[in-house]
Chain A
């Protein structure tokens, strides 16, 4: 035997599920949500998706080249960030907005901290919030959904369901003036909103796949959505005239996307089951607080980012019980 023989510490076998495999699974799981967005919002949405994915990959490669780090675009994490970013943008977002978003997501959200694994905040959400604050007009211009087959040249803009109720409560003090939104439309995605957040069904399908593949555990989505349901339910029971019903809250806005794909981001969520539960409940509470009383109609992005900041603290507080520890 010679230098050809390989010697390393045990274990000598590895699970085939490496980072690249995980990222591929996440991409598969995101495809239904993105596809529904493209179906309802047409070519502009499709452009947002590919521009976002490509620019995230390019930005990652460029930054790593510049910093002399190994280029890791093959692990697929930049593509996932790109896809998530696209799904968090308005379907009609101009291309430059998408590119800025990619720069922020990969640059400020990820690489400044040292790359994948070292970022405290979800990169796609960092970009979304950055854009929302910097370009409020572009970021809140929502296309009205129209199935691809009946697409016409001129896009029509409208409001999101959450935006509509926020405005109604603000202007009139009650929900009475809001037109009826069918839960079925919310479920299928036939409403205004970010590209990939509209269809609860597609996102649940994708999320279920990730849970089945054991890439995410069920704790975060269930506790996150559950918290939102219970909390909005309580306020709806107290005053249904001002507070929308919990079913509406659960299926509208970015909650499904956030609960299944953003809050469960491996890097920026706690590692233990207990930690995940605490994290998810925190996300739920902050989301509801922002939705019901905040200045913004939607609070999913903020709530997850805020809870991201607490992850190290949660991890510290939820250390598993060591085998054989005195109790």
Chain B
């Protein structure tokens, strides 16, 4: 009995000694900033930043000054304090989501040959430049899906990836992985997108894709907000999401149907008892959708309203609301 007590006790003592010594000699001393940043982070370990947890993200921030502020759960004030700790500017951008700029699904865009090999777009691109007839179009092998840390992008049966907006954190991993540069990040509240990146001429496109942009520039001409930028290198025009008001005029005018709505624009209505009849809304509306007599409540013609929301911004009395808002 006594013997056993001594043996067990002895083993325990030796082990404790070893552990104690190890704790002192092999201690890892973290950067004190790392600890402070960790305190500022939400500590939920949600993984939305793309790291194994808040501690890993804090470590990355301290280690690499180029680490983007990928945490989506902190407020601007916290970001400011983290910036201060790191001694650098951290760009605070609104939440972004990935946007896939190709509509060449299986039934709309053909293939040049049948491909056999790894199911990875980057690898497929290496043999004869990829099987898709359009050399700009989505190969559909799902490398974006594979690399996405949030399971937020999936290749559908039509061979095109779709973004699950609620899960996408705008981390940009898929943007880097796509060998054809089809994916870009857009603000989460973006309404429309020109979903083609092909610089092929209409003649070439005839044999490759039914929906590809033919560079007719009708959308550029119709945009009341000058929000569609013409590309210089033969690429399709690109929507400047910062200026786009989501009126979707371009969607209607596109002969190829390659301008896509991410969300339906929400029309507006005027709350009668708040309206003072100042006529500002009538003046700013690009669609002549608001009319009325001065000093009497104005009315919105819902058939003409395209939901651009200019009037909402300009109304001095907050009397204009989006349809559907309380």
Contact = CB atoms under 8 A, between A and B. Distances in A.
A8 B117 contact: yes
Interface stretch (B24-32, B107-115, B171-179, B214-222): B107-115
Contact of B112 (A3, A8, A9): A3
B114 A5 contact: yes
Nearest to A10: B127
A7 interface: yes
A133 interface: no
B126 interface: yes
B116 A6 contact: yes
Interface in B109-153: 110-117, 126-128, 131
Contacts of A4: 114
Contacts of A5: 113-114
A2 B126 CA distance: 19
A181 B44 CA distance: 70
Interface residues on A, range: under 10
A5 B111 CA distance: 10
Contacts of B127: 7-9
Interface string B87-123: 0000000000000000000000011111111000000
A6 B127 CA distance: 11
Determine the main DSSP class of B at the interface with A: loop
B113 A1 contact: yes
Contacts of A1: 113
B126 A6 contact: no
A6 B117 contact: no
A3 B114 CA distance: 5
Q: Is the interface of A mostly helix, strand, loop or mixed?
A: loop
Interface residues of B, number: 12
Nearest to B131: A7
Interface in A1-24: 1-9
Contacts of B111: 3
Nearest to A6: B114
Contacts of B110: 3
Contacts of B115: 7-8
A9 B114 CA distance: 12
A8 B110 CA distance: 18
Contacts of B112: 2-3
Contacts of A3: 110-114
Contacts of A7: 113-116, 127-128, 131
A5 B112 CA distance: 8
Which of B112, B113, B127, B131 lies at the interface centre, i.e. has the most chain A CB atoms within 10 A of its CB? B113
Contacts of A2: 112-113
A18 to B, nearest CB: 15
Contacts of A9: 117, 126-127
Contacts of B128: 7
A182 B113 CA distance: 67
Nearest to A8: B116
B68 to A, nearest CB: 34
Q: Which of A1, A3, A6, A7 has the most CB of B within 10 A?
A: A7
B210 to A, nearest CB: 16
A77 B280 CA distance: 78
A294 B112 CA distance: 66
A6 B117 CA distance: 11
A5 B113 CA distance: 5
Nearest to A4: B114
B121 to A, nearest CB: 14
Nearest to A7: B113
A5 B110 CA distance: 13
A12 to B, nearest CB: 10
A8 B113 CA distance: 10
Nearest to B111: A3
In the complex, the 5 A-B pairs of residues with the closest C-beta atoms, listed nearest first: A8-B116, A7-B113, A5-B113, A8-B117, A7-B128
28 contacts: A1-B113, A2-B112, A2-B113, A3-B110, A3-B111, A3-B112, A3-B113, A3-B114, A4-B114, A5-B113, A5-B114, A6-B113, A6-B114, A6-B116, A7-B113, A7-B114, A7-B115, A7-B116, A7-B127, A7-B128, A7-B131, A8-B115, A8-B116, A8-B117, A8-B127, A9-B117, A9-B126, A9-B127
Given A7-B113, A7-B131, A9-B127, 10 more contacts: A1-B113, A2-B112, A3-B112, A3-B113, A3-B114, A5-B113, A6-B113, A7-B114, A8-B115, A8-B127
